[in-house]
């Protein structure tokens, strides 16, 4: 069953939550002066795990050219760059993840999922990196990348060649610290540095077509 079918708790958290629940049951059956201390600690840990791994449903805006925030967090930078993850220049929107926000990342836009690695020339600085590249119906290219520890990279549950919807769950963020969205230069930015955004719900930019 696909991870996107579980709307509140991400499957990544189930093993941890299962262990803590088991420890809580054990604490209740363990007769000692510290019984309730153990139970209180497991209850607090369980509450924290539920917060960390929560994956709530979101209201997706019905605007085909809108780019939605891929993660819960705070916008830290918006700037043009000539070192985009595709050939040419782009606007880079950087978002610092809220560790107690939604655990799943969502696609910034609708379109076809394209492989970054398959399209790169030999010797590219991106060789071996992963990311979400979506090509829209209007042939706009939008790329989502993550920064964080290499031992706990985000894990995707979509495939290359699939069509993905705007705001659709696409990956678990795990221990990623920042998300970067690369947009066409003529995109209209709808947010500013310091703004807080919610994955799938808040619009960060609009693709411009005359």
- Secondary structure of residue 17 in the 3-state scheme: helix
Residues 29 and 99 occupy one common structural domain = no
Q: How far apart are CA 166 and CA 172, in angstroms?
A: 16
Q: Which helix (H) or strand (E) holds 130?
A: none
Q: Which helix (H) or strand (E) holds 94?
A: strand 90-97
Residue 47 domain flag: yes
pLDDT of residue 118: 59
Residue 93 domain flag: yes
Residue 59 domain flag: no
Residue 118 domain flag: yes
This prediction has a pTM of 0.85
Give me the CATH number covering residue 159.
Answer: 2.70.70.10
Q: pLDDT tens for residues 37-92?
A: 888 888 899 999 888 899 999 999 989 899 999 999 999 999 999 887 777 899 99
Residues 42 and 135 occupy one common structural domain = no
Q: How far apart are CA 71 and CA 92, in angstroms?
A: 15
Number of structural domains the chain divides into = 2
Q: Are residues 189 and 205 in contact, defined by beta-carbon separation less than 8 angstroms?
A: yes
pLDDT of residue 126: 42
Of 171, 187, 181, nearest to 106 (Cα)?
171
Residues 24 and 107 occupy one common structural domain = no
pLDDT of residue 119: 53
Domain limits for position 179: 66-206
Low-confidence stretches of the chain (pLDDT < 50) are 1-4, 121-128
Concatenated DSSP letters of 146-197: EES-GGG--EE---TT-EE-TT-EEEE-TT--EEEEEE-TT-EE---TT-EE
């Amino acid at each position: 069953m696909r991870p996107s079918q579980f709307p509140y708790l991400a499957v990544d958290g189930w093993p941890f939550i299962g262990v803590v629940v088991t420890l809580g049951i054990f604490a209740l059956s363990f007769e000692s002066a510290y019984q309730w201390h153990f139970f209180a600690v497991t209850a607090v840990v369980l509450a924290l795990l539920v917060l960390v791994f929560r994956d709530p449903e979101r209201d997706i805006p019905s605007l085909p050219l809108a780019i939605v925030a891929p993660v819960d967090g705070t916008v830290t930078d918006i700037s043009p760059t000539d070192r985009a993850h595709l050939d040419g220049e782009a606007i880079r929107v950087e978002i610092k993840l809220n560790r107690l926000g939604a655990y799943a990342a969502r696609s910034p836009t609708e379109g076809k999922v394209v492989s970054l690695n398959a399209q790169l020339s030999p010797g590219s600085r991106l060789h071996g990196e992963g990311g979400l590249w979506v090509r829209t119906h209007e042939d706009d290219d939008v790329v989502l990348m993550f920064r964080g520890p290499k031992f706990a990279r985000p894990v995707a549950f979509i495939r290359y060649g699939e069509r993905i919807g705007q705001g659709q769950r696409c990956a678990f963020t795990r221990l990623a610290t920042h998300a970067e969205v690369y947009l066409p230069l003529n995109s209209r930015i709808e947010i500013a540095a310091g703004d807080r955004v919610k994955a799938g719900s808040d619009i960060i930019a609009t693709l411009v077509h005359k």
